[in-house]
Structure 1
């Protein structure tokens, strides 16, 4: 029986897909790891850490856990001189500070939007131009050239 063949071109590489939008990047563990590495190099990894903490926090159902997690997020990211203090405006910080006594799963939403916007408009475009991202794209492109696939 003769062997038929065709040429198969790999679909868009995973790393190239990350450039479409930041949500695609953040939803992929390898993309998130690469972005975090980049943010560490710029001394701003607290932004993605805060965003992820908020995403996890919003899934919390128990009122007791909401209060506990809210205090942890507040002390780690919001309070002045926090270990991973995020850069947010005074009014947003003030609202959170007043509401932390009776937190809800939405108490960090405004700060999370601000941090996401900062990453999307500032850090993400720089990440796409970074050596870290270029190396990842180049390493995947090496393995995605046309491949010969035999079919019987």
Structure 2
């Protein structure tokens, strides 16, 4: 089986844990059409084991949505890498929740995604031109994160 990593989404004083699978095609682990998730690390271990998998806790990630949204609101200390990581994870989660295996979360805002991505470390490493992030991009990223958070909280 491919590598399975825990991804926590922190907001409103709690963390929802998901099992993210790194394979030829990355995705959120699902069972019976629902994302595998839990309110604790121990429960996530149990849920993944029930799917015949094992979590690699060395690759644990925590996405702090409240801090990210706060930095976007202020326009200070916004991490393009954190925004694109959160957006990519929301896309993988959305594909399970919406049963849309090839759809991008908020595909209507891909120009905003591209602006943030252009400033990421990986984009610089491959020679992509950096694009300025506008207030409009920040406002749109906030919408994406808030919608993503609602998706997480509804699971």
Band the TM-score falls in, shorter-chain normalisation: 0.3 to 0.5
Q: Which structure: larger Rg?
A: 1
Q: Where is the helix percentage greater, Structure 1 or Structure 2?
A: 1
TM-score normalised by L of structure 1: 0.37
Q: Where is the strand percentage greater, Structure 1 or Structure 2?
A: 2
Query: Which of the pair has the greater relative contact order for Cα pairs under 8 Å at 6+ separation?
Result: 1
